[in-house]
Amino acid sequence: MDNPSNPLYQLLQISKKIDSINNDLLSNLIAACAKSIQINNEEIRYETFMHPTKKTFTYTVLFNKHLNDFRLFKETIDQLSILWNRWTLTGLTLSDLDIWRNHSSDERIIFDEIWGKVRQHFNKPQSIETVFQDAEKMFAEKELLIEAMKRTLNLYCDKANDKSRAIKSLEDMSEELHDKPIQSVKTPEDLQTIEVIALKLNPFIKSKVWLSYYNRNSVKIDEKTKSRKFIHTKKKFDSKF
C-alpha cells in the first residue's frame, strides 16, 4: 500500500496535506479509486493475521478515516468479523496457534490493534487475545489427557486384550488434535472408560508410593483376570477411590 505509484496511495497522501480543507474533488477521486478495488479474503487474512503490518492495504482501509464510509471498509471489516466468528464457533487449529505464537513483538502490536478495531466495531464480548489464550489452554489440557490415558493403558491395562485398539484410538485422537479445530476434538466412545480412570489416577501417576502400592496389589490378581476388559479395570479402581 505504501507504493508511491499506487493512485490510491497518492490520493491519501494528498489528503493528509489538506486534511482541514473540504475538497470535494479529492473525495470523489478517492471514492472512484476505492470503488474499483476488489477485496481478496486470503489477502485480508494474510495482512491481519499471518503477517500484520501498518504498511498493508487492509490496515490502511481500517484506520484511514477517509475510507471509513466506503464499501471497502465495510467489506473488509465484515470479512474480519466472519474470520473472528469462525475462530470462536468452529475453533482454532494448532497451526493457527503457531502463527499467533510466532508473531514478532511489532506484529503482535499491530495484530492486537487490528482485531481490537474489529472487537470495538462489532462489540465483541472478549478480546482476540482471550480467544487465542483459551484455545491454547484447551489444547494443552487435551494433550495432557491423551498422555494420561496412554500412561494409564501402559501401567494398568497392559494385559487387556483390546489395548492395541485403544492405543490406535489414542493415536487417531492425537492426530486430530494436531490437524483439526481444537475444540472439535472429543474423546472417542471406546476411550471414555479409560478417560475416567486416567482422570482419577492422574494426580498419582508419577507418585512412587502409589506405583509401589499398585505393584504390590497387582501381583495378587489371579492370572485369569489379567486380560480383563476396560470396564473391569474401571470397576477395580472405582472401588479404591
Which pLDDT score is estimated for 219?
52
Which pLDDT score is estimated for 14?
58
Q: Which band of pLDDT confidence, cut at 50, 70 and 90, is reported for residue 180? A: very high
- Residue whose cell numbers read 478480546: 127
Q: Which band of pLDDT confidence, cut at 50, 70 and 90, is reported for residue 50? A: very high
Q: Determine the Cα–Cα distance for residues 116 and 62; give it in Å rounded to an integer.
A: 11
Residue 126: what residue type? Q
Residues in the chain: 241
H helical segments located in the chain: 7-17, 24-35, 41-45, 57-63, 71-85, 94-101, 105-122, 128-156, 163-179, 192-201, 208-218, 230-238
Under DSSP, the state recorded for 182 is G
Q: Determine the Cα–Cα distance for residues 125 and 173; give it in Å rounded to an integer.
A: 31
Per the model's pLDDT, the better-predicted residue between 195 and 210 turns out to be 195
Distance of CA 129 to the CA centre of its chain: 11
Domain residue extents for the chain: 7-125, 133-238
Per the model's pLDDT, the better-predicted residue between 199 and 114 turns out to be 114
Which pLDDT score is estimated for 44?
93
Which pLDDT score is estimated for 37?
67
Q: Which residues of 118-145 are buried (b: 16+ CB within 10 A; e: fewer)?
A: bbeeeebeeebeebbeebbebbeebeeb
Which pLDDT score is estimated for 32?
60
Q: Determine the Cα–Cα distance for residues 53 and 66; give it in Å rounded to an integer.
A: 19
Measured CA to CA in angstroms, residue 146 lies from 14, 140, 177, 183, 228 at distances of: 59, 10, 10, 15, 22
Q: Is residue 195's pLDDT more than 80?
A: yes
pLDDT tens, position by position, 65-109:
877 777 888 989 999 999 999 999 999 999 999 999 999 999 999
Mean pLDDT in residue range 113-139:
95
Which pLDDT score is estimated for 158?
77
pLDDT tens, position by position, 218-230:
555 444 444 444 4
H/E element, 194: helix 192-201
pLDDT tens, position by position, 9-28:
556 655 655 554 456 655 66
C-alpha cell at 109: 502490536
Q: Is residue 177's pLDDT more than 90?
A: yes
pLDDT tens, position by position, 143-166:
889 989 998 888 877 777 888 899
- Strand intervals (E) in the chain: none
Q: Determine the Cα–Cα distance for residues 182 and 92; give it in Å rounded to an integer.
A: 6
